Amino acid sequence: MHCGVNNTTEHFSLQAKSLKKSFVFGDSRLEVLRSVNLSLRKAESLSIQGDSGCGKSTLLNLLARLEQGDGGEIFWGNKMMEASQKQDAKQIAQRGTYLGVIYQAYYLIPELTVFQNVILPARLNGSLNQKKQERVIHLLQKMGVEKKANQIPPKLSGGERQRVAIARALINSPEVILADEPTGNLDEKTGGEVMDLLLQTCEEEKASLLLVTHNPKFAKATDRAAVLSDGELNLIV
């Protein structure tokens, strides 16, 4: 069963229709995504599993408009974008508020404090104000790392760094969170704690969550689960 799309975008925060992506190596072409269809409702969580190298991270990059596809359409709410077209300045600006992205490797800036890392997306999109500074503290409290606000990332544990990364992804109150193996660098206990926080916080914030994970337990914790295989996305029934 395909992770299908609806004809209307009214109740969906993220959609993909017939998304295609291939890579050329010399004289050969590797088709990674053949025709991916995806619909993510507002405040819904969807997990994606699949073998290493099947294109899960590529799919997230296309949905975030960090890469161009070969064909298909992407919808952020009711805004439609051709996957094969290069992103424009408006899309880049909108991504900063519409999407929050969490990576396996954290990607925190080591020279900045925890507070400065979390508030950076608000600074970049010109929405830095007292309210956003208060939101940083609120999110750090929610993540259980408020006492680390003035620390720099190299002095934090892996679990603490990922909690900070989640707070950073949420600072601009995005409609959608894209999480690419967010517990991949963590031990099982810490990973479980971080995943519980991520799911709970997205629910409280009413943010949709698209989660890429290798962990079947985490996949089952989302509202719906899908598998990416042979370039297509299929719901687990």
The pLDDT, as a whole number, for residue 25 is 87
Residue 128 has a pLDDT of 87
pLDDT value at position 26?
A: 87
pLDDT given for residue 125 in this prediction:
87
Domain boundaries, the chain: 44-55+88-235
* 3-7 LR contacts (CB < 8 Å, sep 24+): 3/36, 3/37, 3/38, 3/39, 3/46, 3/224, 3/226, 3/233, 3/234, 3/235, 4/37, 4/39, 5/37, 5/38, 5/39, 6/39
Instruction: Return the pLDDT at 222.
Output: 97
Q: Model-level pTM?
A: 0.92
Q: What CATH code is assigned to 44-55+88-235?
A: 3.40.50.300
Give 10-residue mean pLDDT values along the chain (237 residues): 53 96 90 95 96 93 95 96 92 92 95 97 90 96 97 97 97 97 94 96 96 95 96 87
